[in-house]
Structure 1
Amino acid sequence: MKRHLFVLLIVSQALWAQFDNVGTSVANFLKIGVGARGSGMGGAFSAQVDDASSMYWNPAGLGQISQPEIQINSTDWIFDVKHQFFSAAVPTSAFGVLGVSVSYLSMGDMLETTHYDPDGTGRKISASDLAIGLGMGKKISDRFSFGLHAKYIKETISFSSGSAIAVDIGTQYRTSFQGLIIGMSLSNFGSKMRLFGTDQLIDVDIDEDLDANPDAQGRLDTKDWPLPLVFRYGLSVSPIGENSLIKTDLVTGIINFEYIDPRDYNPFFVLGGEFEIINLIIVRSGVRYTYYKYDDSLDESHSFDALTKELGYVPRFSWGIGLNSKNFPFIPYALTVDYSSSNMGVLGFVSRVSLTLGI
C-alpha cells in the first residue's frame, strides 16, 4: 500500500509541474464546494468523505458506499447565483461502486452590455454552467481505496459556449492508528476550453478609405483557457468514539486537516470537525485559512496604500448541522438532512442544504 501512495504522490507532483500558479482559468464553478456536510467543515473532507459527494471531493470515497445512495445538494451562492449538485452511487460486485453526477450553476437573466452600448442594449441574456460525470470507486484492499471521475463540462453565456472534458482521481488509505485516514485527490485535469458562438461575429470595414465597399463579416478570436486544476491532501482522525482514544458510545468525533493547492490561486489549508451525538444530531465546524492581499474590512474612506496592505492568511469560518434517521425505525431508508453556512468575507454568507438517501 505504501508503494501505491508513493507512486500517486510522484505522479501528481509531475503533473503539477506542467502549470504555473499565476494565471486565470475557466469553468470556475468546478471549485464551488458541494454538499452541506463537507462545506460545514470548511472543505476539509477529502480523507473522510464516504458518500455520493465523493465524486467532487475525492472519488476514492465511493469505494466506502455499501448500499445504493442518492444525494441532492443546493447552494445559494453569491449574487443570487444558484448551484445544484446531484449524485447517485450503486455498489456492484465486479466494478466496485459506480456513480453519476450532475453539477449545474445558473445566473438567471441579466441585461446585455456591449462595447458600443455600455448602458445596455435592451436585450436580456443568460449564463449557465454544466458538468455531467461518471465515477468509479473501489476498495483495492481493506485499507486502500482508489477512485476515478470523468466529466463533460460546458459553459454558456448568451449565444456563446465552450466545452471540455476532465478527470478527477483520488486515493484513501486507512491506517490502524486512531482511525487515521490519508486522502489525496487531483481534480479537473483535462482539456482547455474556448468560447465560440455567434456573439463573436462582427462587421468589419476592410478598407476605411473606400466609401462604397460593404462591410465584411469577421470573428473575434477567443483563446483557450485551462480548467481549474486542484490538488487536495487530507488527514482524518477519530479521537472520540466507541473504539477511539476517548471511549464513549454517546459521541463520535472526527477531526480533519486539509491542504488545498489550486493552480490559479495561492495554496491554503483547512481544519474541520464533525461530531455525531447519540446517532441523531450531527454538528460541524471548520476554519479555512486563505491568503488575501487586500483587507476586505477597509472601505473607500481609506487610502489606496492602506487598501492594498497585505494581510497574509485570514481565517474564514463555516458551520453546519445534520439530522439522520438511525434512531427512527419507522423510516425504512437511511435518510440524512444537512445544512451549512460559510463565511465568504465581503461577499456575505453562503448557505447549503443537502439530502442524502440510502436505499
Structure 2
Amino acid sequence: MHTTRMIKALGALSFLLGAQLSAQGPGGILPTPQDTPNRQGTRGANFLHIGIGARGGAMAGSVGSTIAGPTAWYWNPAGAATSEGFDLTAGRQNLYGDLGLGQTYAAASIPLIGGVVGLSLNTLNSGNMLRTTEQNPFGERLGGSSFSWTSTALSIGYAKRITDRLSVGFQGKYITEGITDVSTSWVAFDVGTQFNTGLYGLVLGGAIQNVGGQSRADGALLTRFIQTGDGTQIRENRRVAFYTAQTEIPVEFRLSVGSDLLGTSNSLFGGAGGKHLLNAEVSISDATDYSTQYGLGVEYGFRNTVFLRGGKRFYNDDRWVGGSAATYGMAGGFGLRVPLKGRALKFDYSFQNAGALQNIQIFSLEVTR
C-alpha cells in the first residue's frame, strides 16, 4: 500500500516537472520567449507556501486584510491584534487527494503586554515511505524499513492595535525540515500590518514573511568514517561529512485589499445590524521562488452563524497541466459558528482544486470570543 502511494506521488510530480521542462526548449534547460526563467524549486521549506485554515483555503488565500484570530499568525500577524481573550485554533489538511501527505497546525492568541502574544505550530508529514536502494528500487520488503519527510515551523509573535484603524504584528520562526538524522534548519521573521481606511469598509493588508538567512543540511547520515594509511597499515579512522550547498527559504510578500460590502455601518451597501454579511477581497503575492500570483475571495454570512465561501487563485505558471486552467486554483467551503457559554465554537471546511495533484481538503476548529 505504501509502495503504491509512493509511486502515485512520484508519478504526479514527475508529470508536472516533465511538462515544465518540455516547455523550456531543447534539453529542458533553455527558456523560450513564451516561458521566461523562474526560481521554482530553488528554495527550501516550500511547505510555507501552503496556506493554513479552512477559511483561508476556501477564499483561495485572499484573506490578508480581513483575517483575524489565531490563523492570522500565518497570513498576516497584524490580524491577531483583534483577539480580546484566549483564542485557540487547530486544523488538519489532507494534501493532494489520496497521496497520503498531511499537514497539521495549531495556534493560540493571548492578550498580554498591551497587545496580543501568539504561539503557532505548522507541520507537514509525507507519511511512511519504503526506504529504497539501488538493489531494491521498490523498497526493502523483508526489512520493512521506512522513513518520512517532516517540515515544521514553530513561531512566537506579538501584535498590537496602534490606533482604532491601524494594527501591526511581527513574529519569529524556527523552521526545520528533513528526514531522521538529516535536516536543515532556519531562523526567520514576519512583519505585517492592517489599515482600516474608514471608506466603504475598505481594509488594506500587507505582510513580508520568511525573511531569513541560509542554512545547509546536517546530520548523522551525512557523516562517514574513512580509514587512512599507506596500504599496509591503517593509521587512523577519520570522521568526514559530505558537503551540502547552502539553501535559502522563500521570502514572500503579500498585499491585499478587502471590503465589507454588506453588514456593517461602513459597508459599501450599508446594512449594519442586518442578517446578511458579505465580504470580498483581492490579493497579490510574490515570492523569491514563484511567479506573481493573484487571488480573489468572497465570503457570505447569515446571522453570523452560517458562512459560504469561494475563491480563485491565479498561479501564472504551468502547474495546472493535466487539468483545466479555468478550474485549477478554484476553492470553496463553508463555516458554522455556534455560541458556547460566552464564547464561540467555529468549524470550517474547504476544498481546493489542485489539478493533476487532485485536491486539498482542510478541516478547522476554532474557539474564540
Scaled by the length of structure 2, the TM-score of the pair is: 0.80
Separation in structure 2 between the aligned mates of residue 190 and residue 313 of structure 1, nearest angstrom: 35
Q: Does 2:104 correspond to 1:84?
A: yes
| Structure 2 unaligned residues grouped into runs of 5+ | 1-37
Output aligned runs, 1:280-295, within 5 Å: 280-293=305-318
Asked whether the 8 Å contact 1:254–1:275 carries over to 2, the reply is yes
Q: Does 2:344 correspond to 1:334?
A: yes
Alignment match of 1:164 (pick from 167, 178, 186): 186
Q: Does 2:314 correspond to 1:317?
A: no
Q: CA deviation at 1:82?
A: 1.2
Output aligned runs, 1:14-93, within 5 Å: 21=39, 24-78=42-96, 79-92=99-112
Q: CA deviation at 1:313?
A: 8.9
Counterpart residue number, 1:100: 119
Alignment match of 2:167 (pick from 132, 145, 148): 145
Per-residue Cα deviation, 1:231-255 (whole angstroms, up to 9, x for no partner): 0000001111142232331211010
Separation in structure 2 between the aligned mates of residue 23 and residue 247 of structure 1, nearest angstrom: 46
Once structures 1 and 2 are overlaid, which stretch shifts more, 185-194 or 330-339? Answer: 330-339
Q: CA deviation at 1:131?
A: 1.5
Count of residue pairs brought into register by the alignment: 323
Letter in structure 1 aligned against 2:122: S
Per-residue Cα deviation, 1:188-240 (whole angstroms, up to 9, x for no partner): 11122321112113466889x96987996542211110011110000001111
Separation in structure 2 between the aligned mates of residue 206 and residue 164 of structure 1, nearest angstrom: 35
Separation in structure 2 between the aligned mates of residue 119 and residue 216 of structure 1, nearest angstrom: 34
Per-residue Cα deviation, 1:9-46 (whole angstroms, up to 9, x for no partner): xxxxxxxxxxx856611111211111001111000011
The percentage of aligned residue pairs carrying the same residue is: 29
Separation in structure 2 between the aligned mates of residue 77 and residue 56 of structure 1, nearest angstrom: 18
- 2:291 match: secondary structure: coil
The alignment's C-alpha RMSD in Å is 2.6
Letter in structure 2 aligned against 1:357: V
| Structure 1 unaligned residues grouped into runs of 5+ | 1-19, 299-310
Separation in structure 1 between the aligned mates of residue 320 and residue 183 of structure 2, nearest angstrom: 35
Q: CA deviation at 1:115?
A: 5.4
Separation in structure 1 between the aligned mates of residue 163 and residue 264 of structure 2, nearest angstrom: 24
Cα 1:295–1:274 change in 2 (3 A) is closer
Letter in structure 2 aligned against 1:282: F
Alignment match of 2:218 (pick from 186, 196, 216): 196
Counterpart residue number, 1:231: 253
Q: Does 2:365 correspond to 1:355?
A: yes
Q: CA deviation at 1:77?
A: 1.4
Scaled by the length of structure 1, the TM-score of the pair is: 0.82
Asked whether the 8 Å contact 2:314–2:329 carries over to 1, the reply is yes
